[in-house]
Amino acid sequence: MTASPSPSAPLRLLAVHAHPDDESSKGAATMAMYAASGVDVLVATCTDGSRGDIQNPAMEGQPHPKRDMAGARRLEMEAAAKVLGVRQRWLGFVDSGLPEGDPLPPLPPGCFALQPLERAAAPLVRLVRDFRPHVIVSYDENGGYPHPDHIMAHRVAVEAFAAAGDPARYQGIGEPWAPSKLYYDRAFSPDRFRALHFALEEAGLQSPYAERLATWLEADAEGHTPPPPTHPTTTQIECGDFFEARDDALRSHRTQVDPEGFFFAVSAAMQRKVWPWEDYSLIESRIPVELPETDLFAGLR
């Protein structure tokens, strides 16, 4: 069965993320906006987040995350989903951690990133066939940044988009359903960072993006623009009214997010003025589209 909108049923959006907290740092305002408008929004979280480090100094002495990081992050995820007004499902895999060192150490046995693709994708295929999303959003092939779990989240999202509607594949785990559109999130868009950086400079404020932009400018032969993206923005969702909800959802992930840190360096009011959108790249569509878009469901309503 292919995705076709019904006047009696809401549109459905599935966001595929690697860890609890990723949904709040990538596309959260979009999800909150759509949920508030009546879209059924579901977050699929691939791993338990058990190998995450404590990133918030205020949580360093707390016993719960030290004893049971996965349990602490489960509670954080529940709180964030409530803030955003979305539903959430766990896909059941173990966090791979972020290897560090030279050479890099091997990934831990049994972790998400080491699973064979079909085994890793099967729970998501089942979820797609059960939830029947019209649109799937996930990461590009670099995972947004090259964390092993983010890269695997990309792979399973692409696999589920391709396979969930094929009755010959993943047999016995639900009736086939083919989502209409697949997007990659562009939360770390250079265009957005650059616009915010220059707005902060113009206001006489310190920019948290200066170092990152300097790296891009140094790498660019002409010294004027960041490198061109592999997947350029095709779709901008105006969701500035939900930036506070996004920030509150981020703060819900207390072990992972420093409330005085990078994510909160620019006020929601300034972001609304300078860049009131969240950006996406349309990767595949099974319905006719016209680019650029201002709606992930363009062509479906």
**What averages of pLDDT result for each successive group of 10 residues across the chain (301 residues)?**
65 98 98 99 98 88 89 97 99 95 92 98 99 98 90 98 98 98 94 90 87 69 61 97 98 94 90 97 98 98 94
Identify whether 234 is part of a domain: no
Same domain, 22 and 113: yes
Q: In degrees rounded to 5, what are phi and psi of residue 136?
A: -120, 135
Mark whether 194 and 174 lie in a shared domain. no
**Is the preceding peptide bond at 229 cis, omega within 30 degrees of 0?**
no
Residues constituting the chain: 301
Residues 19 and 134 in one domain: yes
CB 117 within 8 A of CB 161: no
137 and 281 co-located in one domain? yes
What is the per-residue burial (b if ≥16 Cβ within 10 Å, else e) of 54-80?
bebeebeeeeebeeebbebbbbbbeeb
pLDDT tens digits for 218-253? 655 555 555 567 899 999 999 999 999 999 999 999
Give the integer Cα–Cα distance in Å for 75 and 161: 29
Question: Where in the sequence is the domain holding 94, given as residue range(s)?
Answer: 12-188+277-285
Note whether residue 109 is domain-resident: yes
Total domain count, the chain:
2
User: Burial of 198 by CB count in 10 Å (0-12 exposed, 13-18 middle, 19+ buried)?
Assistant: middle
Structural domain contains residue 19: yes
> For 64-85, what is each residue's pLDDT tens digit?
988 999 999 999 999 999 999 9
Q: Same domain for 73 and 95?
A: yes
For residues 227 and 245, give the distance between their C-alpha atoms in angstroms, rounded to a whole number: 31
Note the Cα 281 to chain centre separation in Å: 13
Answer yes or no: do 72 and 157 share one domain.
yes
103 is a domain residue: yes
Quick one: 182 and 194 in the same domain? no
Alpha carbons 82 and 260: distance in angstroms, whole number: 22
